[in-house]
Structure formats: structure tokens, C-alpha cells
């Protein structure tokens, strides 16, 4: 039996060298940590199905992702965060620089 959760919307995705950035909309009835767990669990399962060698690389564990994560809530600055995510990996070093219109 699977738990049913309110709608989680992934609005933006991009990656850098060793991590992933997501802009996610979640309802106030579900905790951020729970959402992170759901996303990690579901993506790990899909990655293992699509790339079977991952099962061998992570033998003895169901985990693919590290336990840690960083979360920041977004209010009126959603477009700033979205642009930051879109530009990940485009700068050689340091923070990504972009103009705020």
C-alpha cells in the first residue's frame, strides 16, 4: 500500500558538477524533509531501472543519493531562484552571476 501525497510540482531542474538544483512547489500540508525523501527515493528507483549498473555500484544499499540536502524557501523571489538554477554549470568558478530585471 502506497501513501498518497498532495501534488509536488518540480518547476525547474539543473545540475552542477556534483549536485542538483530543484525548484519545487509543495503544499503546506507536507514537510520539506518528507518531499526531499520522496524525490530521492523515486529518482533512485528510476535511475536503477534505467541504468542497471547502478545497482552493482551501490550494492548492499538502496541509497543512490547522499543523506544531506540544502533547502531554502522562496517567496516573492521565485524568478531569481529559477534563473539561478537555469544558469548552473555555466560559470567556471564561484557563484553564478546574472542580472535581475
CB 28 within 8 A of CB 101: no
The yes-or-no answer on residue 84 being catalytic is yes
User: How many other CB atoms are found less than 10 A from the CB of residue 74?
Assistant: 14
Q: Which three cell numbers stand for residue 30?
A: 507536507
- For residue 54, what are the contacts with CB-CB under 8 A and spacing of at least 6? 47, 48, 64
Residue 83's Cα: distance from chain center in Å? 15
Which entry of 5, 58, 69, 84 is annotated as an active-site residue? Answer: 84
Q: Can you tell me which residue has the cell 525548484?
A: 23
Tell me the catalytic residues. 84
Amino acid at each position: 500500500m502506497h501513501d498518497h501525497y498532495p501534488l509536488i510540482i518540480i518547476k525547474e531542474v539543473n545540475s552542477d558538477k556534483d549536485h542538483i538544483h530543484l525548484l519545487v512547489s509543495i503544499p503546506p500540508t507536507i514537510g520539506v524533509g518528507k518531499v526531499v525523501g520522496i524525490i530521492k527515493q523515486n529518482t533512485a528507483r528510476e535511475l536503477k531501472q534505467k541504468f542497471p549498473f547502478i545497482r552493482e555500484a551501490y550494492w548492499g544499499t538502496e541509497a543512490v543519493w547522499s543523506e544531506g540536502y540544502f533547502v531554502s524557501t522562496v517567496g516573492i523571489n521565485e524568478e531569481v531562484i529559477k534563473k539561478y538554477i537555469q544558469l548552473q554549470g555555466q560559470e567556471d568558478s564561484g557563484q553564478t552571476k546574472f542580472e535581475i530585471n
